[in-house]
Structure 1
Amino acid sequence: MIKLKEAVIVEGKYDKIKLSSIIDGLIIETRGFRIFKDERQMALIRRMAETRGLLILTDSDSAGFLIRHHLMSAIPAKYIKHAYIPDVLGKERRKEKGSKEGKLGVEGVSKQQILEALDRAGVLCEEEPVPQWEAPAAARKIEKADLFRDGLTGGENSARNRRLLLEHLSLPEHLATNALLKVLNSMMTYEEYSALVEKLLK
């Protein structure tokens, strides 16, 4: 079992059941789109954000991202960490039909994929004064201009290039540019990013 300080936010009870077998910590459901109207549940989530911090782990489909963005609009970014499961096509066993986009949710992906998502979010690493991947404070960060220069945004083949990168890193296709930058900078150095882009896209 992985012990987490942050309260983990998931969409529904089956996600919670799945995570309960993997982590030792507080897991809170949004109850799907009910979070848009459930003031008490949102008040609880805000309280947990201020006292423990949040880790948002919603599905990788558009509905999951809608819930994630709703939480981001209601809670200061300093209290939030993000974990993203990869896009995996399929259907959960308990369901007669798959999701609208045909992707597995948190409950349907493997334990290993969840652990990798938590690791990318930085919650499985031991706390250190300087993370192992990070050079001194002056280290070059990956920026929006780099994504544009490397053909990941704003270009004719950007959608294809971005999809290749996201698939390689097991990240969902709906990841927005700002979120992608945060994830990339938490996963690798600028030099590692450049080498990966060179390998995948050039």
Structure 2
Amino acid sequence: MRIKEVIVVEGRDDTARIRQAVDADTIETNGSAIDEEVLKRISHAQQKRGVIIFTDPDSPGERIRHIVTEHVPGCKHAFLPKESARAKRNKGIGVEHSSLEDIRQALSSVYELTESTYNSITKEELLSYGLIGGAMANQRREKLGLALKIGKTNGKQLLKRLNMFQITQKQLEEAMDQIVQEEENEK
């Protein structure tokens, strides 16, 4: 599988793992203290080939994603579920610990942020689905993030991501129907 876009990752272990999974070029941020030179390289890559941000599913990874998105508009995003990025023998979480198939799956399901004011989904809908303000909201958001491949979020981030990635009400409804069905089957 050849990836046209340049993939932004956190470090060289991520690069090595991605190159085992797919044929791709990467730019390493070397952690969340991204300097101007790295941001210039990412911006140049975005202009020439496009960029996919593929960071670890943890707080530093989200911080890097936010910094790059803020400085380089138009990047695509790939998300990896936390469970798929967990190291087997230690407490580490990262792209470098993922299976090759999980990496391929994440890179085949990229999202592009939009500049539009697309606001199809409302806070009230999130409340009605129990995604915010309820006892099981955190678990439901995590399941929804997996189902829609948009990563784990808090309530405020969820609303923003659903609308930025232009998730439709129908897509949300179908995913939530499946989540509710799974919850009922677990009882």
Query: Does TM-score exceed 0.5, indicating one fold?
Result: yes
Match in the other structure for 1:119? 108
Q: Is the 8 A contact 1:150 1:197 kept in 2?
A: no
- Using structure 1 for the length normalisation, give the TM-score: 0.71
Match in the other structure for 1:74? 71
Match in the other structure for 2:56? 59
What is the alpha-carbon distance in structure 2 between the residues aligned to residue 15 and residue 4 of structure 1?
15
Match in the other structure for 1:33? 32
- Using structure 2 for the length normalisation, give the TM-score: 0.75
Stretches of structure 2 lacking an aligned partner (at least 5 in a row): 113-119
Question: Which whole-Å deviations, capped at 9, do the CAs of 1:71-94 have from their partners, x for residues lacking one?
Answer: 112122xx211111111274367x
Q: Is the 8 A contact 1:7 1:55 kept in 2?
A: yes
Q: Is the 8 A contact 1:61 1:174 kept in 2?
A: no
State the one-letter code of the partner of 1:31: N
Deviation for aligned residue 1:114: 0.9
Aligned positions, number: 172
State the one-letter code of the partner of 1:47: H
Q: SS of the counterpart of 1:31?
A: coil
Ranges of 4+ aligned residues in structure 1 off by more than 6 Å = none
Q: Which one has the bigger helix percentage?
A: 2
The CA RMSD measured in Å over matched residues stands at 3.0
Question: Which whole-Å deviations, capped at 9, do the CAs of 1:130-161 have from their partners, x for residues lacking one?
Answer: xxxxxxxxxxx655443222010233432232
Q: Is the 8 A contact 1:9 1:27 kept in 2?
A: yes
